[in-house]
Amino acid sequence: CNRPGGPIEITEADAEDILYDFKKEFEERWTEGWNDDSAGDLQFVGLFDDSGVAGTGGRLLEEITLDNGSLILISVALLCTFSALFLFDCDLVESRIMVTTIGVALVILAYFSAVGFGLICGIKVNITIGWTLPFIILGLGVDDMYIVLLALKKQGGYTEDDFVEAMKEVLGPVTMTSTVNAAMFAILNISDVPAIYLTARVALIAIIFLYLTIVFCFPAYCWLDMKRQASGGYDILCCLTSSSDRQQERDGRNSDNMGGKN
């Protein structure tokens, strides 16, 4: 080796990082001035070399795949806004904005957990996963969340029996929709196109995570919200409580629900 100081030892990962940075810098120097009319008539638009590590084409696909952050943020903001408005009540005790926001956050967490689990299993994020799957999965998860909250709202009471009855009512529909969605994505695995079957696998994982979240995790927050309502605490501002007259009205309705079941 003619290198001053002799040869050095580096890992394969270090070599890939060095080659990646070299290609990126080489491309920037090679294409410098391509959009400058005064730079000459000959223009170089890219160095398409993906040997060893990603070149121009590979980096372009990576940037496109991961460039959906702003759209996801807009989607999440719209989901939270419309969900909160849908379950808002002028009676701040009956309003469910806080638990709705928590539900949306759990759905988002379940999706990104599924993507992370897919990465652990060796499923790389592609354009289809990055640009279509977040919006589909978030919509399905929020839909199941609505089913739970509307069942609790329909139940009316704040007792443990009311909570159990509402959960029994939603378990069937949530299980059925999750099973159908999981089966649909499982069938897509027969495709030979990697973009399709890899996306289907991540979607299948996401459906399972969503089901576990909606059935086992979200109800715990719903129960805490019911206890908040039973104590007369306002939505979001839980430290504030309603007037004694309204609280007596709720206690009477709660007693009527218990009497009707007995």
Per-residue pLDDT 10s for the chain (262 aa) are 666 777 777 888 888 888 888 888 877 777 776 666 676 666 555 556 667 777 777 777 777 777 777 888 888 889 888 888 888 888 888 888 899 999 999 999 999 999 999 999 999 888 888 888 988 999 999 999 999 999 988 887 888 889 999 999 999 999 999 999 999 999 999 999 888 999 999 999 999 999 999 999 999 999 999 888 888 888 887 777 766 555 555 555 555 555 555 5
Cα–Cα dist 214/127, whole Å: 28
Residues 61/127, Cβ–Cβ less than 8 Å: yes
Per DSSP, 234 falls in state P
Cβ neighbors of 50 (< 8 A, separation 6 or more) are 57, 58
Q: What are phi and psi for residue 72, nearest 5 degrees?
A: -65, -40
Point out which residues pair with 233 in neighbouring strands. Answer: 241
Cβ neighbors of 16 (< 8 A, separation 6 or more) are 52, 53
